[in-house]
Structure 1
């Protein structure tokens, strides 16, 4: 078996065939299922034979298909953060030349208890007439939120059926997860008429796709991708709730037979009936969107005779619901041998726009700013709107302090002041240089990371100007972290180089990691926490100041492996605690003894997952965001609130050693 053979896999840090053979007992594997897009096996680990997992093996017959599959893997990385979408713990990739050229992708994932089809069969065996309503509504809510999340990223599944919805049980609660994205496509990846090709399972096809199927029309089927998926899930849910077998739903998608109305009459639960009526409308234009289905389930959308179109869809943000804040009590105390920590929710701020799933969040001591590809909202800590603005193709946002401005980076490679219409956009003189990221520095300055590996300092004074350029990297900058108290700049690039530079003294060091850095947090003057594309692993890095020669030494001191999926955010709570949010739980570590975690806050207790977090030290607030709600928390540490602790302040302003005219200090 050859290794990666220049397939650009090294940049993705995939283990290869040798790693796969070393990790799994392939001799005693058990086939769980197969299809046109691969086989799924139950396997045990060689290092721990008592532990099992699911392994999906995909063979690509040529290099073109393999390269496309790698692009799909990269695309799917951004959706794995959702708790109701299947998460790949590890991905292997390699090629073989004997007996013929083949390419392999192997996906390791948690072994699910079963599929939605298995749950339905269990209900039938229990002699129920319909699926349990509370459990069913819980599953439906999870699936709708997940599909809405996918739709906001313009990703469509195209093969929804009971077998492709897996489930687990956590504290007796069913957790549903969407699986098998073998035929899913992002809208941006469609070329020519590819989006109109016929794919899917016949029983669950939308009416337009079914008509094309029976007429042998496979390559030019005009249909709405989102609403085709909505219909497929509608059939899946109708079959599940009424405990129907496959022959019972044959022909449901044939409008001439008009079987759906007869089955809907068997549903006596008004909310379920209302939802499925909207999802299974034969008329594609009148059929629910994912947003309308979510609204219907939440009681904010009604069907009166015919389906009423959602007037807000694509309309002005000013026409949507206002934000409002509620006092929602939640308190959790964690006690270990020596310490006690209390996490207490103060407010929960609802934003209708957050149903679009935010692309990012930043906050200062005055307000919270959330943004997506299409809008930006600034609200205060009580949920009152300060600024609401429709913006297209927003890529990244940061703040300046003096003057206070919201700075946005756009997909077209320009930088603009979002809360000042009079300011002219800034773009680089060399149009070929791509701006990838923007970061707050201090006062009126921001940092930008470029595709050529440079980090530039921009100063804002009615317009932007370049103050300084650092050339620590040779590859595309993907992350910038600046600590203004210690004047410490941390950057990383796509070649897995992490750079640390003290601006005052110009002390500099770099470290090559095994993966591209995704999150960085400074614990103190000598410790850095890093998380990368191995998303369930955290590295603790140590900075040593060299005595005999100017400079610093950067080295890995510790590795923490998490058992509950990828890291969504890292927050240093006033050098007392490291707050780590994963898709399933919150872990709080002692910053002084990072190997000892105080305890675990399980997200299913709080009914939310924290995608974005900010620690507002001056106010003592932890601001979290689960994609639909912004929450404000207080944390008590040994009966002393964290925001009462003091951090070392540098008493005087020093000159920047790297530029005479630079005012960044």
Structure 2
């Protein structure tokens, strides 16, 4: 990846113009549509002309009067994109499979952001047109209500993170079909949020499509007031979705909704009179209230739909707005078995139970697991669940960034957004923070016994011990840039770390052997296959690297090199799991891939999501129990896996008694 003039350091974390031209057949691109921020094209891959994807191209020219002249805005936009890739974990939000970024200076300064995403079956507008062709009077109520519920949950998820779409319309709501069920997904989110940084006073800038603007924004639009528009961002989005939904339900054309947002024309009451489904009418009345203060919030819209009788052809939800009232704590035993065959072997997946622990408003933000149970946290709660589906510990908590465990004593350690570490299941323990307030803690990781590892913004990795209080034992300085990932294998005493300058380092703690490798992107997932191989996935997201560790003759000699590259055409990699050194479990947005580690260049089998009906955002392998724990964002599932008639319970590695002392930390006693 070559550096072009004007590129920022952050831009180098993304593929650039050269990569873009190499990846896509741009000569035969087909324009699908245009939005407030750019154009969307249907493109094919040069490496696989039979496969298509959607590509959104955003071009910002420095000479535009609304753009800041400084490159800082571009850097901020790139950081926003980085953040959105991590938080867009919701089944009803379109993922970016790959993001390209570069800048050009000739003939004028231009900034480019290019977003590759899944090519959807169509948009909400297409669904509406299909209903019109079928000569229906209104949209099918069952399908409509399920689409509405999916969208409201997704928009509430974004609002809880103070994120707003600002250009909601039928063309920006895409859909796919899974087992004949319509799955609605919000498109164009993330692009708008990232480009806030290119606009002056963006939050009060008029953005959107005129037909779907809220009354306040419409009034500003017709009066030519494009800046300093005071309005409630959430309720402006609510109104835009309301217009989108009433147009869809009543099968209206664009000319039928012209002026709907003009309070002087007062067209909304007449349209509402054409709706005979009481709950739909109540919902749209609240969403389309001309008075911003009286208009529904996302939560009020969801509450309006709650309790509809499923037998009448719509939704089934619990009453009440709190998580406690919306949770279902039970184990649902479902007979399920899927055998994947190839030439030499078979892999059998058998789902033994599902635990529905977080539904509706609470989307999983993080998950870890050990042989005692599962720990999952959201924006507002942390819950410890055993493998029978019983809640061991639950607490209301906010601003939690990540969690890890200590072994002895058994404690749950949390890293908070305010840069502190705290024991979450011991209220008496005092929070830990670094002496220097400027030092940022980015990541925490379980180590051994009472020790954890923390990765810092200056590239340091510290060993921190918990014994009633936290104590820093030692510091490693293998990096000079911000640590973004830590992986520790207790059996091999292998420490893998990655930083934001794309350096991946490997260190064996018992013999001081160390090596590093500069990748083309920042590592996002790391998994140890065995003591000589590491699997890595990074910001490209649809590529997996197999790295080889070779030990050299000299005392501290070790070499790290790329042995193999696995290119995936099934969306971004969401998780990687080594199942007892027998197979590699890879979850992508579209499917599950299981590689046989003896012949990893060939897939052992595929299990597509249209059969599974889940996308696994988080996965944990409980080696001692033989459990695979998966999470699709709202549901936790426990799996038992059979492989060639041998269940993957435990490990095939021989664990020898360790008598070595750690050489790099003289006093850390990690052994």
Question: Is the TM-score greater than 0.5?
Answer: yes
What CA distance in whole angstroms lies between the structure 2 residues aligned with 1:319 and 1:15?
45
Moved more, 442-451 or 566-575: 566-575
Bigger relative contact order (CA 8 A; separation at least 6): 2
- From 157, 160, 179, the equivalent of 2:165 is 157
How far 1:597 moved relative to its partner? 2.0
For the Cα contact (< 8 Å) 1:54–1:110, is it kept in 2? yes
Equivalent residue, structure 2, for 1:544:
550
What CA distance in whole angstroms lies between the structure 2 residues aligned with 1:100 and 1:189?
19
For the Cα contact (< 8 Å) 1:448–1:458, is it kept in 2? yes
1:563 paired with 2:573, answer no
For the Cα contact (< 8 Å) 2:575–2:588, is it kept in 1? yes
For the Cα contact (< 8 Å) 1:401–1:443, is it kept in 2? yes
1:57 paired with 2:63, answer no
Equivalent residue, structure 2, for 1:335:
341
How far 1:479 moved relative to its partner? 0.5
The 3 A distance-change label for structure 1 pair 4 and 354 is farther
What CA distance in whole angstroms lies between the structure 1 residues aligned with 2:238 and 2:281?
15
What CA distance in whole angstroms lies between the structure 2 residues aligned with 1:148 and 1:329?
33
For the Cα contact (< 8 Å) 1:152–1:356, is it kept in 2? no
What CA distance in whole angstroms lies between the structure 2 residues aligned with 1:604 and 1:661?
53
Write out per-residue CA displacement over residues 170-218 of structure 1, whole angstroms, 9 at most, x where no aligned residue.
Answer: 6655443322348733899799974343322232223443444455554
Equivalent residue, structure 2, for 1:368:
374
1:91 paired with 2:130, answer no
For the Cα contact (< 8 Å) 1:148–1:356, is it kept in 2? no
How far 1:455 moved relative to its partner? 0.9
How far 1:312 moved relative to its partner? 6.6
For the Cα contact (< 8 Å) 1:360–1:371, is it kept in 2? yes
How far 1:507 moved relative to its partner? 1.5
The 3 A distance-change label for structure 1 pair 610 and 182 is closer
Q: How many correspondences in the alignment? A: 655
Equivalent residue, structure 2, for 1:230:
238
Write out per-residue CA displacement over residues 134-165 of structure 1, whole angstroms, 9 at most, x where no aligned residue.
Answer: 44345334433432332333211011001222
How far 1:632 moved relative to its partner? 1.4
What CA distance in whole angstroms lies between the structure 2 residues aligned with 1:222 and 1:146?
25
Moved more, 62-71 or 391-400: 62-71
- From 562, 587, 594, the equivalent of 1:588 is 594
What CA distance in whole angstroms lies between the structure 1 residues aligned with 2:420 and 2:382?
17
Equivalent residue, structure 1, for 2:445:
439
How far 1:539 moved relative to its partner? 0.8
Where does the alignment leave 5 or more consecutive residues of structure 2 unmatched?
63-68, 311-317
- Superposition map of 1:315-354 within 5 A: 321=327, 323-352=329-358
- From 445, 450, 453, the equivalent of 2:456 is 450
For the Cα contact (< 8 Å) 2:33–2:41, is it kept in 1? yes
What CA distance in whole angstroms lies between the structure 2 residues aligned with 1:330 and 1:145?
28
Question: What TM-score comes out, normalization by structure 1 length?
Answer: 0.89
For the Cα contact (< 8 Å) 1:157–1:183, is it kept in 2? no
What CA distance in whole angstroms lies between the structure 2 residues aligned with 1:380 and 1:263?
51
For the Cα contact (< 8 Å) 2:10–2:79, is it kept in 1? no
For the Cα contact (< 8 Å) 1:86–1:177, is it kept in 2? yes
Secondary structure in structure 1 of the residue aligned to 2:361: helix
Equivalent residue, structure 2, for 1:420:
426
Question: What TM-score comes out, normalization by structure 2 length?
Answer: 0.89
Equivalent residue, structure 1, for 2:114:
106
What CA distance in whole angstroms lies between the structure 2 residues aligned with 1:117 and 1:296?
25
How far 1:91 moved relative to its partner? 3.1
Secondary structure in structure 1 of the residue aligned to 2:337: strand
How far 1:430 moved relative to its partner? 2.5
What CA distance in whole angstroms lies between the structure 2 residues aligned with 1:96 and 1:468?
45
For the Cα contact (< 8 Å) 1:160–1:233, is it kept in 2? yes
Secondary structure in structure 1 of the residue aligned to 2:662: coil
1:78 paired with 2:68, answer no
For the Cα contact (< 8 Å) 1:80–1:88, is it kept in 2? no
Equivalent residue, structure 2, for 1:359:
365
Equivalent residue, structure 1, for 2:313:
none
How far 1:23 moved relative to its partner? 4.1
- Superposition map of 1:217-616 within 5 A: 217-255=225-263, 257-269=265-277, 272-285=280-293, 287-294=295-302, 297=305, 299=307, 321=327, 323-352=329-358, 355-616=361-622
1:166 paired with 2:174, answer yes
Equivalent residue, structure 1, for 2:125:
117
How far 1:321 moved relative to its partner? 4.2
For the Cα contact (< 8 Å) 1:373–1:395, is it kept in 2? no
Write out per-residue CA displacement over residues 429-486 of structure 1, whole angstroms, 9 at most, x where no aligned residue.
Answer: 2322211111001111101111111111111111111111111111111101111111
For the Cα contact (< 8 Å) 2:204–2:230, is it kept in 1? yes
How far 1:420 moved relative to its partner? 0.9
The 3 A distance-change label for structure 1 pair 522 and 45 is closer
How far 1:8 moved relative to its partner? 1.6
- Superposition map of 1:167-186 within 5 A: 167-169=175-177, 174-181=182-189, 184-185=192-193
Secondary structure in structure 1 of the residue aligned to 2:549: strand
For the Cα contact (< 8 Å) 2:625–2:650, is it kept in 1? no
How far 1:623 moved relative to its partner? 1.4
The 3 A distance-change label for structure 1 pair 21 and 399 is closer
Equivalent residue, structure 2, for 1:15:
15
For the Cα contact (< 8 Å) 2:306–2:319, is it kept in 1? no
The 3 A distance-change label for structure 1 pair 182 and 365 is closer
How far 1:534 moved relative to its partner? 0.7
Secondary structure in structure 1 of the residue aligned to 2:236: helix
For the Cα contact (< 8 Å) 2:90–2:633, is it kept in 1? no
Secondary structure in structure 2 of the residue aligned to 1:592: helix
Moved more, 432-441 or 542-551: 542-551
How far 1:529 moved relative to its partner? 1.0
Secondary structure in structure 1 of the residue aligned to 2:234: helix
For the Cα contact (< 8 Å) 2:10–2:75, is it kept in 1? no
For the Cα contact (< 8 Å) 2:98–2:541, is it kept in 1? no
What CA distance in whole angstroms lies between the structure 2 residues aligned with 1:177 and 1:377?
28
